[in-house]
Structure 1
């Protein structure tokens, strides 16, 4: 497990898995947590059980059906593990203010982004590949945390609006800037929204570019006033022993990045 190095409140629990410590074999060795990549279902189920037991999770993680889109589960209705079990939530992130609800995203090169506010009242997990970044998934997550749209199980919005300056972010393992090659159309899409993001691209071969996924995320967050951004130093592509990488291997497993609130949210909201 990777424990994020960030100054999150004590009640915010966050982890990112590696590929080590599970029961998988071959391309999926060994802690593959995804049930949609061709691995044996019984091995995925065992790996998820290992994860629950090792972290002593308060509930089953909210496994999403990620589609490289811009939808967040929990934006306009309280999150429910039962709802996700009934066929899965199609979303690329989740946000909650409810204690014990485990938000999770799975990645194998895309950037996992974990967020919380500095008082530990709201958390979010986001799956940010280049398509999600370009579509505004981070902006949507920041808005959901800041605004009163993050709902409790009672479906009553929180009264307090949180300034973006009070949001903390951790960037998990993702493909690094020396390995993530993209076409010119990807570069142009980012430059249209932010011409200064040109610094996140370097010329590669045959008119293509190397893109800094974590750097693009930091730029977008900074434009929202979110500057307490940590992590971003793990490259999935360059470390086959520790990380799954879709770009490197094609057929492969997925890691998970998880975040949840421990204890009573109402009590923590009054802390200083």
Structure 2
């Protein structure tokens, strides 16, 4: 895995296939204030902060084969297949995949964990928006099950998310994971009082491995502690911008 300077990070090309995976940072756009600068989603206020300009810039700078299909994310587990004719911002789902070259899958995050899955033979790609609710309820499992390839053929990449030092949660969050997988307790460290520090990346790795995905990269990018590169909803304490994680199959 390699990191791109400034505006992008991620593995880029997946070895042996035409697949591409990238995550944006907050640098390189036109927004100001809490939207500074490269917001690609968020509440209605984002539109006034240059959202449409940034989305056009995204396609140009990455030389994308098409506009990304933006989802209406609801912290659920619904996973949909894209065929290339869908209307952006109209699909309510938190995971998406395609087997069609030139169709760009996307999720938006600002603390939640983006998870990209790529068939190393280049037959399909997908991405999931995995906050703790989505993770606990099975959004990763839904994406793995939807992809028409064996899990052993998948390569996973974990994008920027809030790190465990900053992600303090209540006992109900820990219980949601340990009631299904007692060994998931290893992804939680004691905090103040009855609070726990949760490691989203480790929780995602556990879910991926349990479904047979063996090649897992990424992780280690904390949105909360790196304000120069990432938006963070928890750090902002209110509305803020969104980064995008994208996956697509090349057309040539």
Corresponding residue to 2:242 among 250, 254, 266: 254
Q: Which residue of 2 aligns with 1:79?
A: 83
User: Any conservation in 2 of the 1:181–1:208 contact (CA below 8 Å)?
Assistant: yes
- Deviation for aligned residue 1:13: 1.2
Structure 2 CA distance for aligned equivalents of residues 103 and 41 of structure 1 = 25
State how far apart, in whole Å, the 2-side matches of 1:99 and 1:91 are: 21
Which of the numbers 51, 56, 76 marks the counterpart of 1:49? 56
- Tell me, in whole angstroms, the C-alpha distance in 1 between the residues paired with 2:229 and 2:167: 18
How many residue pairs match? The answer is 244
- Quote how far apart the aligned CAs of 1:41 are: 4.0
Aligned-partner Cα distance in 1 for 2:64–2:9: 16
1:157 is matched with which residue? none
2:235 matches 1:228: no
**Displacement after TM superposition at 1:251 (Å):** 2.1
Q: Which has the larger radius of gyration?
A: 1
Residue 100 of structure 1 pairs with residue 102 of structure 2: yes
Where in structure 1 are there 5+ consecutive unaligned residues?
148-161, 265-272
Residues 77-108 of structure 1 show CA distances to partners (whole Å, capped at 9, x for unaligned) of: x433x4323x5100001110000000000000
Please list the CA deviations of residues 180-218 of structure 1 after superposition, one character each: whole Å capped at 9, or x if unmatched: 111100100100110000000011012010000000000
CA contact (8 A) 1:16 1:255 kept: yes
Q: Distance in 2 between matches of 1:84 and 1:97?
A: 18
In terms of fraction of residues, the more strand-rich structure is 2
Deviation at 1:25, TM superposition (A): 0.3
| SS of aligned partner of 2:46 | coil
Q: What's the CA shift for 1:48?
A: 0.4
Shift of 1:14: 1.4
Q: 1:167 aligns with which of 154, 158, 166?
A: 154
1:9 to 2:16 alignment = yes
For structure 2, the 5+ residue unaligned runs are 1-7
Q: 1:126 aligned to 119, 125, 128, which one?
A: 128
Could you say what secondary structure the match of 2:10 adopts? coil
Shift of 1:4: 1.9
User: Aligned-pair distance for 1:9?
Assistant: 3.2
Cα deviation for residue 40 of structure 1 reads: 3.2
Pairing 1:1-272 to 2, within 5 Å after superposition:
1-4=8-11, 7-36=14-43, 38-41=45-48, 43-74=50-81, 78-80=82-84, 82-85=85-88, 88-145=90-147, 147=148, 162-249=149-236, 250-263=238-251
For normalisation by structure 2, the TM-score amounts to: 0.93
The Cα RMSD (Å) is 1.5
Residues 98 and 44 (structure 1 numbering): CA distance in 2 closer, same or farther, change over 3 Å? same
* Structure 1 position 35, deviation (Å): 4.7
Give the distance between the partners of 2:102 and 2:71, measured in 1 at CA.
17
CA distance in structure 2 between the partners assigned to 1:17 and 1:243 by the alignment: 9
